[in-house]
């Protein structure tokens, strides 16, 4: 596993994944020192990157695969999708008095 520590350029303190994620001295943009590289839900096969499933273990590996295959990430949920969901939610509230 690669080294996941970073040293604050201002105070010299080392931070790592699982450690205190903000420099206590308030250094850096948004005070973030280490960004988690784990996939939500863990490593798994991605079946939409080509004819064969691809085993991906991290976000950075996913980005490298997308770039190497010249793929474009597409979010299929446009404004119409969310407008429809809001309307359904409002109808449920009106009909039942509950959101679930």
Instruction: Reply yes or no on whether the pLDDT at 84 is more than 80.
Output: yes
Q: Stretch 16-32: mean pLDDT, rounded?
A: 55
In a shared domain, residues 100 and 59: yes
In a shared domain, residues 30 and 53: no
In a shared domain, residues 86 and 51: yes
In a shared domain, residues 57 and 83: yes
In a shared domain, residues 31 and 42: no
In a shared domain, residues 61 and 93: yes
Please state the pTM of the whole predicted model: 0.46
Instruction: Please state, in angstroms and as integers, the Cα–Cα distance from residue 33 to each residue in 12, 28, 38, 40, 83, following that order.
Output: 12, 7, 16, 20, 37
Question: Residue 32: beta bridge partners?
Answer: 22
Instruction: Reply yes or no on whether the pLDDT at 18 is more than 60.
Output: no
Q: Which domain holds residue 65?
A: 37-100
In a shared domain, residues 49 and 81: yes
């Amino acid at each position: 596993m690669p080294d996941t520590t970073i040293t604050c350029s201002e105070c010299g303190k080392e931070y790592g994944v699982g450690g205190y994620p903000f420099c206590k001295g308030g250094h850096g943009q948004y005070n973030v020192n280490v960004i988690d590289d784990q996939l939500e839900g863990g490593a798994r096969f991605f079946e939409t990157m080509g004819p064969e499933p691809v085993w991906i273990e991290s976000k950075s590996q996913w980005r490298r695969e997308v770039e190497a295959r010249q793929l474009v990430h597409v979010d299929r949920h446009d404004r119409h999708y969310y407008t429809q969901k809001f309307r359904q939610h409002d109808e449920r509230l009106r009909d039942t008095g509950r959101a679930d």
